[in-house]
Amino acid sequence: MSSTSLPPGYTLKCGHPPVDVYLNLRRATSLSPKTPAQAAAAHQGSWYAVYVRHEPTETIVGMGRVIGDGGWYFHIADMAVLPDHQRNGLGDAILRALLKEIEDKAPPGPYVNLVADEAGKKLYAKYGFVETTPRSVAMEKRYDGPRS
């Protein structure tokens, strides 16, 4: 994607942030905390990932990734932008980059899903995501485990 689609001072990179930065981005955006072991394995298991750097402060301020089989099933996860950098279009640029990779690399007809928190709903709707209810509902199972 071109750098012109980001506000001045920000660059979008392919890949994951370092594990400590990833953990902090989740924590700072009130996503559930994860351990370094969970983060390292998550990064191994991604299909594609991007992050955004704020160049003046040399800080990674946003991220997002796709978990997928490369064939047809893709799940968007870890969408997060640090509070001080939100509402500048960074989440939009991250989502656009993830969807572009799917559109460019996946065989025709991919299925893309995500679990939307309230903060992201409008952004996702802008890119064509619709709620699955009442046709289907998301279900989840949570296990207790260590939290960082």
Ligand X SMILES: CC(C)(COP(=O)(O)OP(=O)(O)OC[C@H]1O[C@@H](n2cnc3c(N)ncnc32)[C@H](O)[C@@H]1OP(=O)(O)O)[C@@H](O)C(=O)NCCC(=O)NCCS
Binding site for ligand X (CB under 6 A): 29, 31, 79-81, 86-92, 116-117, 119-120, 122-123
Residue 75: φ, ψ to 5°: -125, 130
Residue of 57, 65, 66 lying closest to 85 (CA atoms): 57
**Cβ nearer to ligand X, comparing 71 with 127:** 127
Cβ at position 96, least distance to ligand X in Å? 9
**Cβ nearer to ligand X, comparing 79 with 106:** 79
**Angle formed by the axes of helices 36-45 and 19-28, nearest 10°:** 100
Cβ at position 116, least distance to ligand X in Å? 5
Contact 67, 75 (CB under 8 A): yes
**Cβ nearer to ligand X, comparing 19 with 77:** 77
**Cβ nearer to ligand X, comparing 1 with 119:** 119
90 burial via Cβ count (<10 Å: 0-12, 13-18, 19+)? buried
Cβ at position 88, least distance to ligand X in Å? 5
Distance between CA 131 and CA 148 in Å, rounded? Answer: 32
Cβ at position 118, least distance to ligand X in Å? 7
Query: Which residues on adjacent β-strands are paired with residue 65?
Result: 49, 77
By beta-carbon distance, which residue lies closest to ligand X? 91
